[in-house]
A and B are shown apart, each in its own frame.
Chain A
């Protein structure tokens, strides 16, 4: 049995530190999700409007954010902000800004998809039944839209959590960075720590995302 470097995890506060790092990553994604959902709903509603200008602007925003790798966006905000505003913004704030911009775009597209997937006869039937416009939205359209949206939004949250691993590259101390520090600090005593510690990080991400994936799949089956 080769030395897998797992013993490092049980030394001192190493495991607690790793979990703290994971929490730092989760916090960034949770804040961004909390901001993206209302903004995304707003964007989605704007995107189905008929005005050409609104359509063009939202479309360009969506396409640009979606085609750029998230890491590029992080670099633009993190390194570019210092140049543009003459002041430095922290890695954490840059990540929240980028993930909110990205999450809003993705969420907006999901909302748009959910709205246009409601067939026209739903509106017509409810009007024929004598429901008011507000009643149509409240009792007919919104409940159906929400059912389609929730599984997709849960999936978006898992994507967001996975993407927070990138914030390491702009100097935010999160789980992978903590892992690097632990490996460096124990280089002499346990040279194989890289295997055990990175495996643990891998599994921590899995534990954070898997339940959400299962939930999304379950909801999709239940309401789909």
Chain B
């Protein structure tokens, strides 16, 4: 291992890591918004929208992100919808993640039986109070493990961004291998940077999961 080489190209990796995290976060935020909307539509059983949402969920869950990105990035411009690579990355991640987030949220909401809402309403709570004090605390606790797993999953999926020529970590590593044949060093840095990004998220996720595990008494 050549330490000098690694130090020299450290800034390149840093830049790439920042890009990966930034687009990852944007994508996760989009995914979360899409997920909340879809989950509410399905939970509220809104007639037509519900069908559309379930078609979307099936399409997004049963196709790989790489193919989704290729379609958005190379396919859509042909019918006049063009985006730049960054927006495309975030949108693709949002499209993929939306369905996963929606399933996580819906599974949380659905574990709360209607009797709880009815009881809360008959005790005189207002609808928003029912949501705030009865439904959400339980739903969040149930959804949290799936939710954290999705965030890690989506951050990992950002690794395919190099396919649409975003200069992310994979792109940087491949570039350096091609240019200087410093395979070991480039791959080592790649692994280290992904660990720096993903390990804290994974650890924080576990802590949060443990803290919100109050819903399942006796389980």
Contacts and interface: CB of A to CB of B under 8 A. Distances in A.
Q: Is the interface of A mostly helix, strand, loop or mixed?
A: helix
A72 B62 contact: no
A194 B62 contact: no
Interface size class of B (residues with CB under 8 A): 35 or more
Interface stretch (B4-12, B38-46, B119-127, B156-164): B156-164
Nearest to B61: A213
A176 B68 CA distance: 11
A195 B76 contact: yes
Interface in A54-104: 67-72, 75-76, 79-80, 82-83
Interface stretch (B128-136, B140-148, B192-200, B210-218): B192-200
B78 A192 contact: yes
Given A4-B79, A72-B194, A163 B62 contact: no
B174 interface: yes
A202 B156 CA distance: 21
A49 to B, nearest CB: 23
B198 A67 contact: yes
Q: Which of A72, A76, A83, A197 has the most CB of B within 10 A?
A: A72
A186 interface: no
B186 to A, nearest CB: 8
B63 A209 contact: yes
A68 B191 contact: yes
A80 B59 contact: no
A123 interface: no
B62 to A, nearest CB: 4
A198 B76 CA distance: 10
A166 interface: yes
Contact of A71 (B77, B78, B170): B170
Given A198-B67, A202-B63, A83 B76 contact: no
Interface string B62-98: 1111111011001111111000000000000000000
B187 A169 contact: no
Interface string B6-32: 000000000000000000000000000
Given A75-B190, A165-B64, A198 B183 contact: no
Contacts of A158: 62
A162 interface: yes
Interface in A164-196: 165-166, 168-169, 176, 179, 183, 191-192, 194-196
Contacts of A192: 78-79
Nearest to A214: B58
B59 A206 contact: yes
Contacts of A68: 156, 191, 194, 198
Contacts of B177: 79
Contacts of B159: 69-72
B111 interface: no
Interface of B: 58-59, 61-68, 70-71, 74-80, 152, 156-160, 162-163, 170, 173-174, 177, 183-184, 186-187, 190-191, 194-195, 198-199, 202
Pairs of residues from A and B, 3 with the lowest C-beta to C-beta distance, nearest first: A69-B159, A165-B64, A209-B62
Interface of A: 2-5, 67-72, 75-76, 79-80, 82-83, 158, 162-163, 165-166, 168-169, 176, 179, 183, 191-192, 194-199, 201-202, 205-206, 209-210, 213
